[in-house]
Amino acid sequence: MTATSSTQACDVLVSAALPFSQDQWNRLLQAFHGKAVAVVNPQDDAAMTAALAMARIAIIATDLDDRFLRAPHLEWVHCDHAGLNRSARSEVFERGLAVTGSAGRSAPALAEHAMLMALMLAHRSWIFLAAQARQEWLRSPEIGQLCALSGRCMGIVGMGNTGRELARRAKAFGMTVLAYRRRDQEKDEGVDEIYSSDRGDQLADMLVRCDVLILCLSLSDATTGLIGREELLHLPRGALLVNMARGEVVDQHALVDLLEEGHLAGAGLDVTAPEPLPAGHPLWSAPNTLITPHFTPPVPDRSERSLEIILENIRRFDAGETMINLLRQEDAYTADA
């Protein structure tokens, strides 16, 4: 990265931990034209404290902490990752601090991961992998009970960046696509029917139609425990659940029970509560369950997609416009606090 001002004069604090190339660093720093920028090692507490004493803007790689809430002049913090629940603290909204994130940068990969889990569950791919390991040309009545995704109904809860990418992919597989979202907006590409909590639609009305339910919503006080036993029982017998949101969105005890009872035919979990999932947790041995460690291979241009979000938000901040991925009061999550 190029040389920047010291913390003795600082309008903008930028974390040195941001994973940018030299060209990307140059473009980021140039976007703050006319402002004094300090690039600070986040492990250097003295430099962070000095910069935060003056900065109006902070661009960091992680969630914010108490130091940012105490910064006297800070107006905007950008956290360069997707899930902002750890930053959606009540103090942020009480102070009126603008907090944004980089949601959407990995949405195509997350949508692929969700489709991968849905396909593996529908095809029970582990059966064939085990047969291959035994060098067995499998002939089993269980194979005849499998059902392709094509022609089935997918319900998506949460129509943010990942939900929109997922809807297009599910439609390409020939599925009927239903979506449940908070705001009452027009249907996104690939969605056949939209349900909205703002207009009074009930989640249960969508769940009863879903062969595959995929969770893509953010974690907040309002969404914690959203999918409990009652909601899981609204799904048709033999339905599949994929959770790409957060583990806290689902009642995991009820999930295990309904998998063991056979009401649900399978679950794909990229997220759990807690993380890492400890040895001996019932989810590890739940039938027909796939678990990945909250990891999706990144898109090749993830850092560029992050930078584009930041650059657009710099422009909007300077212009006084609403910024991308701005935390709102309805996103508040107080459990971590």
Q: Are 59 and 53 contacting, i.e. CB atoms less than 8 angstroms apart?
A: no
CA distance 184 to 322: 19
Instruction: Check: CB of residue 245 under 8 Å from CB of residue 218.
Output: yes
Nearest residue to 119 via CA among 161, 164, 173, 180: 173
Cis before residue 108, ω within 30 degrees of 0?
no
- Beta strands 98-101 and 212-215, pairing class: unpaired
Is 260 assigned a catalytic role? Answer: no
* β-bridge mates for residue 179, sequence order: 156, 194
**Selected catalytic residue, list 152, 169, 234, 246:** 246
Active site includes 186? no
Q: Provide the terminal-to-terminal Cα distance of the chain, rounded to the nearest Å.
A: 35
Residues 333, 85: contact at Cβ < 8 Å? yes
Q: Catalytic residue at 246?
A: yes
Which token pair is 235? Answer: 């799904």
Sorted by sequence, the CB contacts under 8 Å of residue 55 that are 6+ apart come out as 10, 11, 12, 13, 38, 71, 73, 74
Helix 161-172 and helix 107-123: axis angle, to 10°? 50
Neighbours of 139 (CB within 10 A): 8
Residue 85 · residue 222 · CB < 8 Å = no
The closest of 145, 113, 100 to 306, measured between CA atoms, is: 100
**Contact between 294 and 14 (Cβ < 8 Å):** no
67, 86, 182, 294: the catalytic one is 294
What tokens appear for 194 in the block? 């939209």
Which residue in the list 275, 321, 328, 330 is annotated as catalytic?
Answer: 275
Is the separation of the CB atoms in 230 and 257 below 8 Å? Answer: no
Which residues are marked as active site? 246, 275, 294
